[in-house]
Amino acid sequence: MKKFIFKPHLSVYFLLAVIIPSFALSFLAVRSVEREEAYLKKQLEDTLRAEVGHITSLINGLLKQLNTELDQTVSLPHHDYNQIAFQWKRRSSFIETPFVLSPQKDIIFPNTSYRLGPKENFFLRWNTAFFKDQESIPVYENIAVAYKDEILNQNTLAANSQMWQSSTQNSSYQIINDIEDQYAQSQFEQYSPLREKVYQQAESKGQKIVYRKVNLPPKGGKNSFSKSFSGKGEKASPPPLESIFISQSRKFSEIITGEDAGIFPRILDGRLRLFFWKKETEGYISGCVIDQDRLVEKIIKLLPDVYSKVRILTILDENGNPLITPHQESQRDWRSPFVAGEISQVLPHWEVVAYLTNPQEIISKANSTAMLVWLLISLLLISIVLGSILILRSLFSEIRLAQQKTTFATNVSHELKTPLTSISMFAEMLRQKREITEQKRRQYLDIILSETERLNRLINNVLDFTKIGQKKKRYTMKKIDIVQLCRQVTEGQRIRLEYKGFTVTLRAQTEPLYIHADEEAIKQVLVNLLSNAEKYSADTKVIDINIETDNYSVLIKVEDKGIGISASNARKIFEAFYRVDDSLTARTRGTGLGLTIARQIIREHQGDISCIPGEDGSMFQIQLPLQKDLP
């Protein structure tokens, strides 16, 4: 048989047409899920940022209102300073400790000649030196506003900035200023090289960069979302974030230069306090310490619901502690919000912050979507790969069958030709040689007879195969003594086999063993097995036939010491046209049909035939049901 040729180009086509596109599509699907996830996260972030921005501007509005309210309330009394507290406090609830400074910046009120409460004492202890310019405090400033000109004058931004101004030229100065401030801040936040430059500039002028108290999730980057919330990404602590506010040490006189009134923050005893001051006639200054609790109360009122299904919104104070929290939130890391926004230079370090209510849920949602997509893709890929394997296998087996059929046709023609040649040659010799010995004549006739039998067998095989395939083979069933039949077949083959050097042994009981069978068909199977044993034997020419019984069935074992059969081929040799693909088998001619037909016949007799590979040679075993009770 011709060697089956594996065609690699088929697999290559398959790989190009099916597997690679499938993998590419899967990759794209996963990418799009990741993008969708990033997009959703961005949307959530934008929404929360807008909310935070809104609250920031509400608080700034409140601070402005506070400034106006205090400006209208705080005024230098003309008579009894003692009345100040009473008068001012009646008009504004934000006033905690009122004060009046002399033109020399001495504290006129409160002072020790009045009855002092603990708050007044505290005020005097901490501020006497400060108002006299003997101490300086950090004063905060929005860097984008302080360096607005530098930011707007950047070449790249000049065009934009002009456009901005021209579109707002009819508005009042204040509004242009505000919009310009906002614009400068947005430019500053957007362009990191610009930001670095401005920070450097500020530092070179002795201003200090303030660092924020919060860490924010890193922007962009694959899976940054999941990492920053699952806690896994926290090993390397992130660098501190620079605040939009810078600070500079200033004395009181410097703070009030160029302004008529204002509010400045001061951290005293670890707590932020706001001071309102206002210039009065003749160098007097009146002012007050703002009631922080009242301010906080007002700010909290500006907040919408702190707790929602999606986010928790609150404000962090100068120490990074939330002003208000929902009951169930005690364990949260308040320093790591999802979105945060600084508020004002008057409230340094204060931030409006938003946290995801249940970040784990969002991660697990994202993960489960990703898992689902992966699962579907894996299933798809597995089914594509399995399908491909099945298709390729059936394709290859079709190709193999086609090749086997071609080989079969070649083999059959050769098998037909060889005996025909011998028959015609010996018949011719008989006709021509007149003086031929009786022995020679017999020998020639024997050869002619055996070749005719071989021819007959071959043709029968081909015909049988077709009939069996079409289920047309008819059997004449009758009671047969299988021991006798085996003996008959063996004896029929013995002369020829022994002539070729074989030792043939039949071991069987003497009593008959009956089966219900077609005699010719069973004979055909036995002859085929003996003929195979002959064909596939090399130097050791031994054939053993054993008949055994277990009272239910009869076992006929035909054993040889020939080239043998590997375990992997033991089943395949029963397939149509299959011939073992090795040099030993190739030496003999055959159609690959004998065992196929044998198995078909035996199975149609409710039995089975199998090949048991041995260490040397092979053994074929036929099992047929025993028929004891048949007449």
Binding region for ligand ADP (CB under 6 A): 532-533, 536, 560, 562-565, 573, 579-580, 585, 590-596, 618
Q: How far is the CB of 384 from ligand ADP (least distance, A)?
A: 37
Q: How far is the CB of 534 from ligand ADP (least distance, A)?
A: 9
Instruction: State how far the Cα of 76 lies from the Cα of 84, in Å rounded to an integer.
Output: 9
Q: Please answer whether residues 401 and 434 qualify as being in contact, where contact means their C-beta atoms are separated by less than 8 angstroms.
A: no
Nearer to ligand ADP, 314 or 407 (CB): 407
Nearer to ligand ADP, 226 or 585 (CB): 585
Nearer to ligand ADP, 422 or 537 (CB): 537
Instruction: State how far the Cα of 314 lies from the Cα of 303, in Å rounded to an integer.
Output: 8
Nearer to ligand ADP, 440 or 587 (CB): 587
**Cα–chain center distance at 307:** 34
**Encoding tokens for residue 114?**
């009045």
Q: How far is the CB of 532 from ligand ADP (least distance, A)?
A: 3
Q: How far is CA 99 from CA 287, 290, 293, in A?
A: 5, 11, 19
Residue with tokens 């015609």: 424
Instruction: State how far the Cα of 514 lies from the Cα of 484, in Å rounded to an integer.
Output: 10
Instruction: State how far the Cα of 327 lies from the Cα of 367, in Å rounded to an integer.
Output: 29
For residue 139, the cross-strand partners are: 248
Q: How far is the CB of 533 from ligand ADP (least distance, A)?
A: 5
Q: How far is the CB of 377 from ligand ADP (least distance, A)?
A: 45
Q: Please answer whether residues 164 and 183 qualify as being in contact, where contact means their C-beta atoms are separated by less than 8 angstroms.
A: yes
Q: How far is the CB of 415 from ligand ADP (least distance, A)?
A: 8
Q: Using CB atoms within 10 A of its CB, is residue 201 exposed (0-12), middle (13-18) or buried (19+)?
A: middle
Nearer to ligand ADP, 25 or 459 (CB): 459
CA angle at 13 for the pair 11 and 17, rounded to the nearest 5° = 120
Nearer to ligand ADP, 139 or 558 (CB): 558
Q: How far is the CB of 543 from ligand ADP (least distance, A)?
A: 9
Nearer to ligand ADP, 563 or 609 (CB): 563
Q: How far is the CB of 414 from ligand ADP (least distance, A)?
A: 12
Helix (H, G, I), strand (E, B) or coil at 11: helix
Nearer to ligand ADP, 241 or 462 (CB): 462
Instruction: State how far the Cα of 182 lies from the Cα of 153, in Å rounded to an integer.
Output: 15
User: Positive or negative CA dihedral for 431, 432, 437, 439?
Assistant: negative
Q: How far is CA 14 from CA 22, 379, 396, 403, in A?
A: 11, 19, 13, 22
Q: How far is the CB of 563 from ligand ADP (least distance, A)?
A: 5
Nearer to ligand ADP, 314 or 618 (CB): 618
Residue with tokens 């894996």: 378
Nearer to ligand ADP, 234 or 604 (CB): 604
Nearer to ligand ADP, 247 or 528 (CB): 528
Residue 191: how many other CB atoms lie within 10 Å: 16
Helix (H, G, I), strand (E, B) or coil at 507: strand
Nearest Cα residue to 489 out of 465, 508, 473: 508
Q: How far is the CB of 529 from ligand ADP (least distance, A)?
A: 7
Q: Please answer whether residues 591 and 458 qualify as being in contact, where contact means their C-beta atoms are separated by less than 8 angstroms.
A: yes
Q: How far is the CB of 569 from ligand ADP (least distance, A)?
A: 7
Q: How far is the CB of 379 from ligand ADP (least distance, A)?
A: 42
Give me Rg for the CA atoms of the chain: 53
Instruction: State how far the Cα of 284 lies from the Cα of 105, in Å rounded to an integer.
Output: 8
Nearer to ligand ADP, 395 or 542 (CB): 542
Q: Using CB atoms within 10 A of its CB, is residue 270 exposed (0-12), middle (13-18) or buried (19+)?
A: exposed
Q: How far is the CB of 604 from ligand ADP (least distance, A)?
A: 17
Q: How far is the CB of 572 from ligand ADP (least distance, A)?
A: 8
Q: How far is the CB of 383 from ligand ADP (least distance, A)?
A: 37
Name the closest residue to ligand ADP (Cβ).
590
Nearer to ligand ADP, 311 or 579 (CB): 579
Amino acid at 225: F
Furthest-apart CA pair in the chain: how many Å?
A: 172
Instruction: State how far the Cα of 326 lies from the Cα of 55, in Å rounded to an integer.
Output: 18
State the distance between the two ends of the chain, measured CA to CA, in whole angstroms: 47
Q: Please answer whether residues 502 and 615 qualify as being in contact, where contact means their C-beta atoms are separated by less than 8 angstroms.
A: no
Residue with tokens 């009134």: 261
Amino acid at 576: A
Residue with tokens 């001012």: 88
For residue 558, the cross-strand partners are: 545, 620
Nearer to ligand ADP, 269 or 615 (CB): 615
Nearer to ligand ADP, 344 or 524 (CB): 524
**Cα–chain center distance at 71:** 63
Helix (H, G, I), strand (E, B) or coil at 104: coil
